[in-house]
Amino acid sequence: MKFDVAVIGSGMSGLMASIYLAERGVSTAVVSRGNPICSISSGCIDIAGSGPDTLKAIDSFPGEHPYHKVGKEALLESIEYFQELMSKHGLEYDGDSRKNRSILTPIGKRRVTSLVPFTMKAAETADGDAFHIISFKDIKDFFPSYLTGRFPDAQVSVFDAGTHTTVGIATKMDNDDFLVSFVNWIREQEIARDKIAIPAILGITKTREIHDRLERDTGRTFFEIPTLPPSIPGLRLYRSLRKIAEGKGVSFFSSAEISDFGKERKKILGLTIKKPGRPDYVDAEAFILATGSFVSGGLFSDRNKFSETVFDIPVHSPAGEELFNEDFFKLGHPIEKSGIRVNDRFIPEDSEFENLFAAGSILAHSETMKYGCGHGMAISTGVAAAKHAEEYIR
């Protein structure tokens, strides 16, 4: 099949790029191998740093960081664009991209982020704040004792949902009869606090309805606490963006393994997708590489070589034996600098192809863990790459 643009990867950067292009009448395909990392994320949008001011934090980032190629104004515009998309789809994101805030984690500590889904709007708490905790019998990945250890005045009520996983409970929450029984149970509890913390299980498809009903029928304020993966807020985020993309006419090739690609001179012509029987072919005028870093499989490394897994583009890396002798779990490990170097149009610098663009965590010098810029960088570079791809095909 022939498209104007083919996006490789269905994470935050790939989906945002595809939506931006589709809204402008650009025929777009998304080719992905599996569910992206964003589907197991906290669902929050980290912009930059751990201080109160995100733009000030960006000023301190090294000159090679992708944010400096995006530019502050374009960054703010892309985040606002994301918020508008999610609001129209019923999954509002609360916050200001210029500011950081904190939310509670399952172990009772605070995590810095910028934008949060509406279910976490009330999640910012100070030491000594009074709130109640609702947990679930035998639930995995959520341990109220961690919270009560930090907030000793918090009391805990435990509901028996008949299942022990966050996915199972969230799925049940989407059922009206189950929700009614849960609301009635809450009313029977002797809850003195006006604010109630709950693990992130408030449904998968009816979250707005569930959240509003709980607050209306109990007279309390509810906020979700993200749990360990699989993360329901991350799953909601991914499903919402994919649904938005599909609604705008984006074609999806899922579980697609790219076995080869065609090229001519300085252009990529198309992708060959391996499948039983006859392979699929996705041809396009331009391509956006948004396959992620090592965890997502966009990059690969052994002790001797760093490689990009689709087009075999040269990978920038501070390569050396010392990389593998260092603590991989420390913040700011040098391997995070690895990736694809791009020019100001997000075309890979070390690539021969003029119609290939790159976005997201595959970009060199991203260091998303060190700089706290994961989804913010994915959104902004995805939109930036889409703009340049559109300019190219026009």
The answer on 370 and 288 residing in a single domain is yes
The answer on 243 and 157 residing in a single domain is no
- Average pLDDT score over the chain: 92
Last residue of a domain, one of 174, 204, 225: 225
The answer on 137 and 7 residing in a single domain is no
Domain assignment of residue 192, given as a range: 116-225
The CATH number linked to 88 is 3.50.50.60
Last residue of a domain, one of 225, 250, 269: 225
Q: What's the confidence (pLDDT) of residue 317?
A: 83
pLDDT in tens, 338-390: 999 999 999 999 899 999 999 999 999 999 989 999 999 999 999 999 999 99
The answer on 239 and 154 residing in a single domain is no
The answer on 363 and 241 residing in a single domain is yes
The answer on 270 and 250 residing in a single domain is yes
In the chain, the number of structural domains is 2
Confidence of residue 328 (pLDDT cuts 50, 70, 90): low
Six-digit token pair at 240? 């919402």
Confirm whether 104 is domain-assigned.
no
The answer on 25 and 50 residing in a single domain is yes
The residue-averaged pLDDT of 254-259 equals 91
Confirm whether 108 is domain-assigned.
no
The answer on 157 and 246 residing in a single domain is no
Confirm whether 111 is domain-assigned.
no
Confirm whether 290 is domain-assigned.
yes
The answer on 254 and 302 residing in a single domain is yes
Q: Which residue has the tokens 């393994």?
A: 257
Confirm whether 230 is domain-assigned.
no
The answer on 276 and 314 residing in a single domain is yes
The CATH number linked to 190 is 3.40.50
* Max Cα-Cα span within the chain: 73
The answer on 176 and 82 residing in a single domain is no
Burial class (CB in 10 A: 0-12, 13-18, 19+), 284: buried
- Whether pLDDT at 277 is above 60: yes
Pairing label, strands 155-159, 132-136? parallel
Q: Is the pTM of this model over 0.85?
A: yes
pLDDT in tens, 187-229: 999 899 999 999 999 999 999 999 999 999 999 999 999 988 8
Q: Which amino acid is at 277?
A: G
Last residue of a domain, one of 198, 225, 252: 225
Its sign, for the CA torsion 287, 234, 80, 249, is: positive
CB-based contacts of 283: which residues, under 8 Å, 6+ apart? 1, 2, 3, 6, 262, 269, 270, 271
The answer on 344 and 201 residing in a single domain is no
Alpha-carbon gap, residue 61 to 15, rounded angstroms: 26
Confidence of residue 320 (pLDDT cuts 50, 70, 90): low
